[in-house]
Chains A and B, each alone.
Chain A
């Protein structure tokens, strides 16, 4: 599978939110306004790339050669949790501007299953380091596309006359169903499995 195909598949065809249902908590949590959606997307892009590299190297240099594959769940989640902490401390000390923009989103990322899922997909699909990078990049941009797209819809929904039972989450779910239906159109292209 060539690199462009991996990117398109991760970005659109197997979109992490709408087609794989991963990362739904931040999707519904921070898609209430465009600015928070952009901040969250940037933080996810940053951490997802780092996590993909670190987990790939750890798996292929340590876990696999030593026969410790069964530890991967514990190792990956601890790597992501400590990575988020390190990034936060580094930004706080050296890049104050970036920290004030992304700071509040970073702690939330530890429990963002999209990051952990990408590290597993990279192993399951037997990607090399370049493919893993492209896959992580495509996934993060796909996450950003959907979450920002959806934030614009939700800002309009705020003012729409909706029956009280459907206010809030239910109408957001119905909206997500319609956006997801549009993304179904890409499934005829190709995908990763």
Chain B
């Protein structure tokens, strides 16, 4: 499957060229809210990726059965099913992470990336292509979340994934600004400016 150039491009386009956050600027809420630490960002990335990939595959599989006029409510039901699954799985096996992410787990259901891919891609493409598209967009989304979380944790706490990287002197009085809400806006602004400067997505 990887020898087919167009199929591979479904996978890779989501990572940089059509990165959901840095290029398309959608799905901003979880990007800013759940990236206080690298672990939170990663957890949110995995949860949203699970929903995105599963809903892409299911919607693609049922696309010939869904009448055009009621497709959006049906997409929403499919997506909210997977959101409920990940909601309860996280509550059972990752209670600490679930407490931090809080309301943002059920809010995955209104994440524009997932409904957007269902409408723009999965509804018109085969199962394998939709899986690759979902995987690519998930990597693009998850990696930005992880990088944001890692940078905020590094500046705000001196660690990445709880592994101390900066000297103790920094860690005793870190730049708390980074883990507070303004730091998130500031950091995504700088990342977006960097992306513009490098000319990605043009």
Contacts and interface: CB of A to CB of B under 8 A. Distances in A.
Give the dominant DSSP class at B's interface.
Answer: helix
A170 interface: yes
Given A73-B109, A112-B110, A120-B103, 12 more contacts: A18-B181, A21-B184, A24-B28, A24-B29, A73-B84, A111-B112, A113-B111, A165-B196, A173-B186, A176-B189, A180-B182, A180-B185
Interface of A: 18-25, 28, 70-74, 77-78, 81, 111-113, 116-117, 120-121, 124, 164-174, 176-178, 180-181, 183-184
B189 A113 contact: no
A74 B77 contact: yes
B28 A177 contact: no
Nearest to A166: B193
B182 A178 contact: yes
Interface string B26-66: 10110011000000000000000000000000000000000
Contacts of A73: 80, 83-84, 87, 106, 109
A74 B81 CA distance: 7
A170 B182 contact: no
A20 B29 CA distance: 9
6 contacts: A23-B29, A78-B77, A168-B196, A177-B189, A181-B182, A184-B180
Given A113-B107, A173-B188, A22 B181 contact: no
B185 A177 contact: yes
Contacts of A164: 196
Contacts of A174: 185-186, 189-190
A168 B25 CA distance: 12
A77 B193 CA distance: 34
A171 B115 CA distance: 28
Given A18-B181, A25-B26, A81-B76, A117 B103 contact: yes
Given A21-B29, A121-B103, A165-B197, A177 B109 contact: no
